[in-house]
Amino acid sequence: MNNVDSRPSWDEYFMEMLEVVKTRSTCIRRHVGAIIVKDHKIISTGYNGAPKGLAHCTKDTCVRLKYNIKSGERHELCRATHAEQNAIISAATMGVSVEGADIYITDSPCILCSKMLINAGIKRIIYKGSYPDEFSLELLNEAGIEVIKYDTEG
């Protein structure tokens, strides 16, 4: 029996891996994972959570929860580093360029991550869920980055 036809597409393959990556998240509000891929090879992963050595997010340490900050607003008031940021940082600490790579993300990027992805040279963004930040998508479009909302139905 030839199982080649039943293999997942590359996008399906990496999107399914995101489900495992995001389980490492320490955020209490949203679990996000990111995988940076070049030539169908994973070069970095990241998930959202507090910086190294700092206390994880809890109901007592979450500034966003304390001040009832809505999703998509006041990104600077967050204990966590975003998944995309951690994936870029992880690649940088290993001396690996992400220029020309694709990034798979559980949610569309916020404006801060979009600016980082543009400057890092990411060429294609594939995401599942939408994050409430329309300006980020405008900047990505202006930068000529291909942005794809992954269709889980097909």
The residues assigned a catalytic role are 84
82 marked as part of a ligand binding site? yes
78 marked as part of a ligand binding site? no
Contact call for residues 151 and 128 (beta carbons, < 8 A): no
27 marked as part of a ligand binding site? no
Residues 6 or more apart whose CB falls under 8 angstroms from that of 44 comprise 35, 36, 87, 88, 90, 91, 94, 96, 98
Radius of gyration of the chain measured on its C-alpha atoms: 16
Q: Which residues are annotated as a binding site?
A: 82, 110, 113
Q: Which residues are annotated as a binding site for Zn(2+)?
A: 82, 110, 113
